[in-house]
């Protein structure tokens, strides 16, 4: 289990509001919009993989059941396309009702376009694959980049 409390305390700034659509990590001029459908969450953290380790920042806005935030390119934690990331969800945890909120577990982005790079996977500290911010579409069936 990863303790992110110390890392969260070190975050240099927060994210901007962003937009609730489209879902996933969407590259736009000047930064990336992150949007995740999480109706049961009371808090949702975007966790960026940096050379210094995992750094988590709260997604600052909720529109309906979608949490969202904007990570500008000039943010101190942004390394742009190819940066590994995931989410930590806070809230009520009741597996019998299909509600899972375990902030100690970093989750993959359910809307991710890629889970690893073509040469080397981006792994978290436990050795698990991370979501990647990818500028291209990925064909899961053929496991190749679409042209």
Going by the DSSP 8-state scheme, the letter that residue 5 receives in this structure is: H
> How far is residue 126 from each of residues 49, 53, 54, 73, 105, measured CA to CA in Å?
12, 12, 11, 27, 11
Using the CB atoms, write b or e for 95-126: b if 16+ within 10 Å: eeeeeebebeebbebeebbbbeeeeeebebee
* pLDDT tens digits for range 6-64: 344 444 468 999 999 999 999 889 999 999 999 989 999 999 988 888 899 999 999 99
pTM of the complete model beyond 0.75 = no
């Amino acid at each position: 289990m990863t303790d992110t409390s110390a890392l969260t305390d070190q975050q240099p700034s927060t994210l901007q509001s962003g937009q609730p659509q489209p879902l996933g990590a969407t590259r736009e001029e000047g930064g990336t919009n992150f949007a995740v459908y999480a109706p049961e969450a009371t808090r949702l953290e975007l966790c960026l993989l940096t050379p210094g380790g995992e750094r988590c920042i709260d997604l600052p806005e909720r529109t309906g059941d979608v949490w969202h935030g904007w990570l500008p390119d000039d943010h101190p934690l942004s390394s742009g396309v190819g940066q590994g990331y995931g989410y930590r969800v806070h809230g009520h945890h009741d597996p019998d009702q299909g509600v899972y909120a375990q902030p100690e577990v970093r989750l993959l982005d359910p809307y991710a376009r890629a889970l690893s790079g073509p040469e080397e996977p981006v792994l978290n500290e436990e050795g698990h694959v991370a979501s990647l911010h990818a500028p291209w579409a990925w064909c899961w069936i053929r496991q190749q980049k679409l042209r």
